[in-house]
């Protein structure tokens, strides 16, 4: 008789625990959601202008769930690009998640495949920035991180559908909608400027982006510049450490 | 584009997006990473975001060319300062959009 009760109470506790994690996730994710609302809305409007209906918009936000590549895809659809070239561009643009997932893997050491395959779906520039900061501070649980991912995900899907719906009555180019993505990237960049080394890395990477963009054809220049910038920044950090070490 | 083409396009985009998100978690979460590799990965986010920002605001085209005096580059300065000051994603996005909209009206 006593056993079922103890199991019940433990399950109750576990349930409460999960509710707490979800609440923490919502708290950490709300700046992302606040950013996704205008951004998703802007995407929905532009997608509607490009000829996607509400179902296409919803499906793309659910299956792709990667803001910048969705913006680029819509621009390419407007320009009547071939589906294969849109998919290839999406791949190249989103290849950066490879690097983000690699960084996150450090903090998800030894997790099961089921959890990882669900978590991977929600890795974006924004959730990555928030979760990495939380993981670095310590005491961040995987379910809290997952809650951040999923809250952001639901907000993105909802706001893009809303934008697609409203797009029917909003003229193109209105309200600075074209600038939503740039502003978002600018803000996420400031989150990462945590010291001189990071600032230097940003400058190197930015300059390399312009250099590669002008010399290398296609869309690979962002990835190339990111790898170059991170490696240069890492080398500088190592150099500074060694120099300090030798004088110490 | 036909309806089925749209669906195929979206499914294709979804697949190529999910695989790079999943593979590193699957492969790397099972093993210990060397110290230098973790330090290198630490530099990745700032490098990626800076690359995305520069490509968004300083490039124009097609054909692709450098243009540092266009409205989107000039608006980036106050938007960047607002981001630094407020640390608010939503606030920055909305201020950036308003600034860009107003700058477009003035010019």
What is the DSSP annotation of A116-127?
A: HHHHHHT--HHH
A101–chain B Cβ distance below 8 A for any pair: yes
Q: Spell out which residues of chain A touch residue B47, defining contact as CB-CB under 8 Å.
A: 201-202, 204-205, 225-230, 233
* Domain residue ranges of chain B, discontinuous segments joined by +: 32-106
Phi, psi of A193 (to 5 degrees): -85, 75
The minimum CA-CA distance between B38 and chain A, rounded to whole Å, is 7
- Residue B12's pLDDT is 96
Mean pLDDT value across residues B84-103: 89
Q: Which residues of B touch A189 (CB under 8 A)?
A: 46, 49-50, 53, 80, 83
How many whole angstroms separate alpha carbon A38 and alpha carbon A28? 18
Please spell the DSSP secondary structure of chain B, one letter per residue: --HHHHHHHHHHHHHHHHHHHHHHHHHHTTSPPPHHHHHHHHTHHHHHHHHHHHHHHHEETTTTEE-TTSHHHHHHHHHHHHHHHH--HHHHHHHHHHHHHHHHHH-
Mean pLDDT value of segment A3-24:
59
Tell me, yes or no, if A180 comes closer than 8 A to chain B by beta carbon.
yes
pLDDT tens digits, A154-179 = 999 999 999 999 988 887 667 787 88
Q: What's the distance, CA A52 to chain centroid? A: 23
**Does A95 contact B84 at a Cβ distance shorter than 8 Å?**
no
Tokens of B8: 């195929």
Hey, which residues 71-100 in chain A have their CB within 8 Å of chain B? 73, 77, 83, 86-88, 90-91, 94-100
Interface membership of A64 toward B (CB under 8 Å): yes
Rounded CA separation B45/B42 (Å): 7
In this complex, the residue of B27, B53, B100 whose CB is nearest that of residue A185 is B53
8 Å CB contact between A97 and B17: yes
Structure-model confidence comparison of residues A37 and A10, the more confident one? A37
Range of the domain at A248: 193-248
Q: Are residues A60 and A88 in the same domain?
A: yes
A178 and A200 together in one domain:
no
- pLDDT > 90 in chain A, percent: 40
Residue written as tokens 């909305």? B94
Q: Within this chain, do residues A231 and A174 fall inside the same structural domain, yes or no?
A: no
Dihedral, CA atoms, A89, A91, A95, A96, nearest 10 degrees? Answer: 50
Alpha carbons A86 and A66: distance in angstroms, whole number: 14
Residues of chain B positioned with their CB less than 8 A from the CB of A119: 25
- Residue A16: pLDDT band by 50, 70, 90 thresholds? low
Residues 6+ apart with CB under 8 A from A112: none
Span A59-79, average pLDDT: 88
* One domain for residues A124 and A212: no
Instruction: Choose the final residue of a domain: A188, A207, A238.
Output: A188
Residues 6 or more apart whose Cβ sits within 8 Å of residue B20: A91, A94, A95, A97, A98, A101
Same domain membership, residue A239 and residue A118: no
Between chains, do A106 and B10 touch, taking CB under 8 Å as contact?
no
Q: pLDDT (tens digit, 9 = 90+) per residue, A181-238?
A: 889 889 889 988 989 999 999 999 999 999 999 998 877 788 889 889 999 999 999 9
CB contact under 8 A, B56 and A185: yes
Residue B60 phi/psi, 5° resolution? Answer: -140, 160
Tell whether the model's pLDDT for residue B95 goes beyond 80. Answer: yes
Contact A83 B5 (CB under 8 A): yes
Same-domain status, A155 and A209: no
Q: What ipTM is given for this predicted complex?
A: 0.85
Q: Which pTM was predicted?
A: 0.74
B60, β-bridge pairs? B65
pLDDT recorded at residue A2? 39
CA-nearest residue to B43 within chain A is A230
Over 50: is that where the pLDDT of A6 sits? no
Cis peptide upstream of residue B62 (ω within 30 degrees of 0): yes
State whether A20 and A110 are in the same domain. Answer: yes
A2: Cβ–Cβ under 8 A, 6 or more apart, which residues?
Answer: none
- If you measure CA to CA, which chain A residue comes closest to B103? A176
Boundary (domain end) residue, out of A146, A162, A188:
A188
Output the average pLDDT for chain B.
88
Residue A8 has pLDDT above 50, yes or no: no
User: How many domains in chain A?
Assistant: 2
Shared domain for A154 and A237, answered yes or no, is no
Q: How many CB atoms lie within 10 A of CB A14?
A: 9
Whether A55 shows a pLDDT value over 90: the answer reads yes
Select from A163, A188, A213 the last residue of a domain. Answer: A188
Partners of residue A177 in chain B, C-beta under 8 Å: 97
């Amino acid at each position: 008789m006593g056993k079922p009760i103890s199991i019940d109470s433990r399950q109750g506790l576990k349930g409460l625990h999960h509710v707490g994690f979800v609440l923490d996730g919502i708290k950490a994710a709300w700046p992302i959601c606040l950013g996704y609302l205008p951004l998703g809305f802007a995407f929905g409007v532009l997608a509607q202008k490009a000829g996607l209906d509400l179902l296409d918009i919803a499906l793309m936000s659910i299956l792709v769930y990667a803001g910048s590549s969705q913006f680029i895809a819509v621009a390419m659809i407007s320009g009547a690009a071939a589906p294969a070239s849109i998919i290839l561009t999406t791949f190249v643009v989103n290849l950066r998640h490879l690097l983000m997932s690699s960084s996150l893997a450090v903090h998800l050491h030894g997790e099961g495949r089921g959890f990882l395959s669900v978590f991977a779906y929600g890795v974006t520039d924004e959730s990555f920035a928030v979760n990495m900061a939380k993981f670095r501070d310590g005491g961040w649980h995987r379910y809290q991180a997952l809650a951040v991912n999923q809250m952001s995900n639901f907000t993105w899907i909802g706001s893009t559908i809303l934008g697609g719906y409203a797009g029917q009555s909003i003229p193109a180019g209105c309200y600075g909608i074209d600038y939503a993505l740039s502003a978002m990237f600018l803000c996420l960049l400031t989150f990462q400027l945590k010291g001189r080394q990071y600032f230097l890395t940003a400058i190197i990477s930015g300059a390399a982006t312009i250099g590669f963009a002008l010399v290398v054809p296609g869309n690979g220049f962002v990835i190339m510049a990111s790898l170059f910038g991170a490696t240069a920044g890492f080398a500088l950090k190592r150099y500074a450490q060694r120099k300090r070490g030798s004088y110490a | 584009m036909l309806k089925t083409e749209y669906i195929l396009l979206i499914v294709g985009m979804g697949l190529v997006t999910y695989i790079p998100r999943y593979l590193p978690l699957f492969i790397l979460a099972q093993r210990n990473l060397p110290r230098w590799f973790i330090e290198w990965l630490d530099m990745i986010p700032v490098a990626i975001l800076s690359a995305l920002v520069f490509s968004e605001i300083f490039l124009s085209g097609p054909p692709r060319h450098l243009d540092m005096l266009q409205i989107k580059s000039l608006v980036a300065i106050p938007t960047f300062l607002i981001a630094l000051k407020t640390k608010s994603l939503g606030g920055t996005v909305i201020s950036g959009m308003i600034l860009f909209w107003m700058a477009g009206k003035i010019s």
